[in-house]
């Protein structure tokens, strides 16, 4: 799942650096990108969650702790 998430994010945010901690039941994703510079924290998270929307809807991804930062 981590590879799929990373690929999806990098296809849409090319400079994004994704790091993962935990396992499928308790996954934490940190995304760092210059694309977040002009976005509020809420909108940064919305941008990432929108990319993962289909995975949440299908149940393939059911829980994710998300942190976003600019570099």
Q: pLDDT by residue (tens digit) across 10-42?
A: 999 999 999 999 987 789 999 999 999 999 999
pLDDT digits (tens, 9 = 90+) for 53-65: 999 999 888 889 9
Report the predicted TM-score, pTM, of the whole model to 2 decimal places: 0.92
Neighbours of 3 (CB within 10 A): 8
- CA angle centred on 44, ends 41 and 45, rounded to 5°: 90
Chain centroid, CA 36 distance in Å: 12
Interval 63-70 mean pLDDT: 95
Q: Are 43 and 35 in contact (CB under 8 A)?
A: no
Closest CA to 66 of 11, 9, 15: 9
């Amino acid at each position: 799942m981590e590879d799929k998430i990373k690929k999806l994010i990098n296809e849409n945010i090319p400079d994004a650096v994704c790091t993962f901690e935990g396992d499928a039941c308790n996954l934490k994703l940190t995304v760092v990108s210059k694309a977040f510079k002009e976005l509020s924290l809420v909108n940064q998270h919305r941008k990432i969650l929108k990319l993962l929307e289909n995975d949440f809807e299908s149940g393939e991804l059911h829980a994710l702790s998300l942190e976003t930062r600019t570099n």
